Amino acid sequence: MMGQVQALLTLRRRSLRNRARELRRDGLAKLAFVAVGLCGVSLVAYGVAFWCFRFIEGFPAIGAPLNERLLALFFLILLVMVGLSTAVISYTTLFLAAETEFLFQNPVQPRSIFFLKLIESVGFSTWATMIVGLPVLAAFGHVRHAPLLYYVEAASALAVFLTFCGFLGAGLTFLLIEIVRRWSARKVMVAAVFLVGLPAWLFLRSFDFAGLNGRDNLQVLDRFVAGLTTLKSPFFPGQWIASLVVSASTGNRSEAAFQGCVLLANTLIFLPLFAAYGRWRYSFSWLRARDPFVSARASAAGAPVAEPESRRTPHRRDVFSIGGPTASLFFKDLLTFVRDPAQISQFLLFLLLLAVYIASLLQIPRDVFTENWRRAIYFSNLGAISLILSSFTSRFLFPLISLEGKSFWIVGLAPIERAFLVRQKALLGAAVILTLGFLAAVLSNLFLGFGGGQLLGALYTVALAGICLTSLASGLGAAYPSVGEDNPARIAVGLGGTLNFFASGAAVLILLAIECLPFILPWPGPEEGVPLAHLVALTFTGVVSWAALRIGQRSLLKLES
C-alpha cells in the first residue's frame, strides 16, 4: 500500500513540475505577484502580533499571563477554522472529485487513494494558515527574547498542530457520512446549526465587556480570556501547543518536549484509524456519496422518481422566456450550486460565521471610546465586512467559469457572446454579495451605534467594494480558468485564486484608504473632503471593475478560439 501511495505522490509531484515548466511570462508574473503578496501578509501579521504582544507584555503582573492566554485563544481559533475547512474540503476531494473517480478505475487500492486525497485535503486547508501562524509565533518569541532554537520548535509544533486540526476535521466528515447519510435535509440542517451555533453562542456569552470603563480594560480582557476554561484544560489540543510554545520561549526543554510528544502522539493516533477506514469503509462510502439521496430512496422503495408537475420543463421555459439568456444562466448556475453539497455546506458556514461576527459587535460598548477611536472602529468594521465579502467572492464566484469544465462547449454553442458570459457571472455575484453586504453593514453599524450619514456612507462604501470584488473575481476567474479541475477548493487556492484574493484585498485597502483620507489629512477637512473621497472611490471602482472585466472577456475569447 505504501508503494502505491508513494507512486501517486510521485505522479502529483511530476504534474506540478510539468505545470511549472509550462509557465509563460504572464504565469511567472502572476507567480511573482502571489509570492510578494504572501510576504506582505506575513509581514503585516508579524507587525500586528508584535505590537499587540509587546503592548500587553509591558503591564506588570498581568501582561505575561494574558499573552499566554491570548496565544491559547489563537490556537482555539485555528482549531475551529482549519477543522471546519478540512471537513468541507475533504468531502469534496475524497468523494465528489472526478480525479478520485478516475483513480478508482485503475488498479489502485482504495486505501491508497484515500491517503493521497487526505493529504491533499489537509494541505489545501493548512498552507495559508501556516503562512499567517508562523509570523505570530515569531513575534511572540521576539517579545519574550526567546533563543534561536525556539523558532525551529515553534514552526515544527505549528505544522504538527495544523495536521492534527486537519485530521480532526476530516475524521468528523467521515463520521458524519456514516451517521447522516440516511437523514433528511432538515435533520442535517438542524444538526449543523446545533454543532456550530451552540459553541458560537457559548463563546459570545463569555464576553464581559460591559465592565469597560477606560481604565481597567486589561483586567476585563483578562476576565474574558479566563472565562474560557476550555483553554486551560489538559484535554484541549490548543493547550498542548500553547504550553509547548511558552516553555520553548523560556528555555524549558523538558516541558516543551513533553507537550510536543503529547501533540505528536494525538496526531499519529489518527493514522491507524484512517488506515482501517480506508481499507474497510472508504470504497462503500464513496459509492453512497455519489448516489443522489432521492434516487437511492426511490430505488429502495421500488418506485421510479417522478418530478412534480409544477417543476417540469414548461415551468422552466417560462423562467427562460421571462429573462432571456441572463435568467437561463442564472437558473443553471443556481441549480448547479444547490446540487453540490460541499458548496452548500461552505456557503451556510460562511453565513453562520458572518452572523457570529455581527452578533459579537453587540458586546462592544458605545460610550467608552473617544471620537478618534470610534472612527477607527467604524472603518475597521467596514474593512472586516469587505474582507469577508472578498473571501466569499474568492471561494464561490472565482471558480464559476472553471466549473463549466468539459461541458463548456454547451455554453459555447448558446447564441450569446463570451463577453456576456463574464458579465452574467459578475451580475450573479453582485446580486448575492450586495445583499449580504448591505445586510451586514446595516446590522453592524446599528449595533455599534452609527446611524444617519455614517450609515449611508457605510452602505455606499460596501456597495463600491461589492462591485469591485465581483468584477475582480469574475474577470480574473475568466482570465485564469482551470477548466480541467472540478474541485472548487483546488481552483480557489490555486495561483489564479490566490492572485484574485490578493488583488481583492489590495482593492479593499485602497478603497478604505480613500474613504479615510478626509479624516486624516488636515486639508480640506471632512465636510469638503468626504464628497471628494466618495467621487475618487467611485472612479477607482469604475476603473478597476472595467479593467478586470475587460481582461476576463478578452482571455475567454482566446480560450474559446
pLDDT in tens, 284-302: 888 877 664 433 443 444 4
Q: Which range scores top for mean pLDDT: 58-67, 351-360, 429-438, 517-526? A: 429-438
273 close to 171: Cβ distance less than 8 angstroms: yes
| The pLDDT value given to residue 165 | 93
Q: Quickly state the pLDDT bin for 33 (edges 50, 70, 90).
A: low
Kindly tell me the number of DSSP H helices and DSSP E strands found in the chain: 22, 0
Average pLDDT over residues 242-264: 91
Count the Cβ atoms, other than its own, within 10 Å of residue 278.
22
Average pLDDT over residues 7-27: 66
| The pLDDT value given to residue 329 | 74
Average pLDDT over residues 145-173: 92
| The pLDDT value given to residue 198 | 63
Give 168's Cβ-side CA count (13 Å radius). 20
In angstroms, what CA-CA distances link 257 with 64, 142, 153, 402?
22, 21, 9, 46
| The pLDDT value given to residue 517 | 87
Average pLDDT over residues 25-30: 58
Choice between 401 and 31, residue whose per-residue pLDDT is larger? 401
pLDDT at residue 395 above 60? yes
| The pLDDT value given to residue 216 | 54
| The pLDDT value given to residue 24 | 58
| The pLDDT value given to residue 369 | 64
User: In angstroms, rounded to a whole number, what is the distance separating the alpha carbons of residues 73 and 230?
Assistant: 10
Give the mean pLDDT of the chain.
77
Q: Quickly state the pLDDT bin for 181 (edges 50, 70, 90).
A: low
Q: Mean pLDDT lowest for which of 35-49, 182-196, 473-487? A: 182-196
Angle at 540 between CA 536 and CA 541, to 5 degrees: 120
| The pLDDT value given to residue 189 | 64
Choice between 453 and 373, residue whose per-residue pLDDT is larger? 453
Where do the domains of the chain lie?
A: 1-12+30-293, 322-561
pLDDT digits over 424-469, tens only? 888 888 888 999 999 999 988 888 888 888 899 999 999 999 999 9
211: enclosing H helix or E strand: none
| The pLDDT value given to residue 266 | 93
pLDDT digits over 204-226, tens only? 555 554 444 545 555 555 555 55
Q: Quickly state the pLDDT bin for 367 (edges 50, 70, 90).
A: low
49 close to 140: Cβ distance less than 8 angstroms: yes
User: Residue 456 carries which side chain, given as an amino acid letter?
Assistant: L
pLDDT digits over 114-134, tens only? 998 899 889 888 888 898 899
pLDDT at residue 308 above 70? no
Grid cell 508513494 is found at 6
User: In angstroms, rounded to a whole number, what is the distance separating the alpha carbons of residues 154 and 248?
Assistant: 8
Residue 335 burial (C-beta neighbours within 10 Å; 0-12, 13-18, 19+): exposed
| DSSP-derived 3-state class of residue 70 | helix
Q: Record the cell numbers describing residue 38, joined without a space.
A: 504572501
486 close to 405: Cβ distance less than 8 angstroms: yes
Q: Which range scores top for mean pLDDT: 35-39, 57-61, 97-101, 434-438? A: 434-438
| The pLDDT value given to residue 538 | 93
Q: Record the cell numbers describing residue 49, joined without a space.
A: 502580533
Q: What percent of the chain has pLDDT over 90?
A: 19
Q: Cα Rg for the chain, rounded, in angstroms?
A: 25
| The pLDDT value given to residue 159 | 94
Q: Quickly state the pLDDT bin for 94 (edges 50, 70, 90).
A: confident
Grid cell 469534496 is found at 92
Average pLDDT over residues 38-49: 85
In angstroms, what CA-CA distances link 476 with 94, 263, 485, 496?
28, 41, 16, 7
User: Residue 141 carries which side chain, given as an amino acid letter?
Assistant: G
pLDDT digits over 347-363, tens only? 777 787 787 778 777 76
Q: What percent of the chain has pLDDT over 70?
A: 72
